[in-house]
Amino acid sequence: MKVLVPVKRVVDYNVKVRVKSDQSAVDIANVKMSMNPFDEIAIEEATRLKEKGVATEVIAVSCGVTQSQETLRTAMAIGADRATLVQTDVELQPLAVAKLLKALVDKEQPELVILGKQAIDDDANQTGQMLAALLDWPQATFASKVEVADGKVAVTREVDGGFETLSLKLPAIITTDLRLNEPRYVTLPNIMKAKKKTLEVVTPEDLGVDVAPRLKTLKVAEPPARSAGIIVPDVAALVDKLKNEAKVV
């Protein structure tokens, strides 16, 4: 079974995000970039499926700028066998990424696509669902456990009331949640091995996909600073402020 894993290059989750002075976008100049944490979980899960003998090949794919090759090398150091970069300087929105991934799925013919439930930069949580719609494949989102057997995949996911388990016929789309696994530490020997693995570079034009943005960002601003809290003497004063000042009760 071939598994396709999309990964995205984002601002590292430990970095405090800054907004450009003209409020046009987030400032990424001289900022540490890394693999989207949810995608790291996805590549780890695909690698574990391969180690169990369920998957035969894991292919990492990314869409974006040239520097995304570093993210793909990390994916191969974790366990992907090879990688493909769809290289473009255009700002990619979820629908454009989904269309690019569909083109790659048509090319590679995987039986399973595992990707993070969302990217921590835009928090869109749309690409997996859009890809499933474009391919007309079954999907299971927010996976916390994945088991593949007999041409089906059982996916346990967290819901408001607890857990539910879905059974999907392959091929299928899965998006990962935080509790699915804990990604392994990437060792130096595996980093060196990843440099020898195949990394193919294509363009959206090669795939016949129009990635022109459909949405326009009007303004990016930091959230307003939180005002200082106050101490109330008793419950009656708290209720009074909630009712008359905050107007939430």
Residue keyed to tokens 């996805």: 42
Output the pLDDT for position 121.
87
Residue 249 reports pLDDT greater than 80:
no
Average pLDDT (127-145) is 95
- Give the β-pairing of 82-87 and 199-202: parallel
Q: What is the CATH number of domain 2-244?
A: 3.40.50.620
Residue 11 reports pLDDT greater than 80:
yes
Vertex 223: Cα angle to 119 and 31 (nearest 5): 50
Output the pLDDT for position 248.
81
Determine whether 89 is exposed, middle or buried from the number of CB atoms within 10 Å of its CB (0-12, 13-18, 19+): exposed
Instruction: Please give the residue that has the higher pLDDT: either 214 or 58.
Output: 58
CA–CA separation, 55 and 47 (whole Å): 8
Three-state DSSP class for residue 131: helix
Report percent pLDDT > 90 for the chain.
71
Residue 134 reports pLDDT greater than 90:
yes
Q: Do 36 and 119 meet the contact criterion of CB atoms below 8 Å apart?
A: yes
How crowded is the C-beta side of 30, counted as CA atoms within 13 Å?
1
Which residue ranges make up each domain of the chain?
2-244
Residue 142 reports pLDDT greater than 90:
yes
Average pLDDT (13-42) is 88
Q: How confident is the model at residue 218 (pLDDT cuts 50, 70, 90)?
A: confident
CA 141 to chain centre: 12
Average pLDDT (95-116) is 95
Give the residues across from 60 on adjacent strands: 5, 83
Output the pLDDT for position 95.
93
Per the prediction, the chain carries an average pLDDT of 92
Q: How confident is the model at residue 223 (pLDDT cuts 50, 70, 90)?
A: confident
Q: Do 84 and 206 meet the contact criterion of CB atoms below 8 Å apart?
A: no
Residue keyed to tokens 């859009």: 130
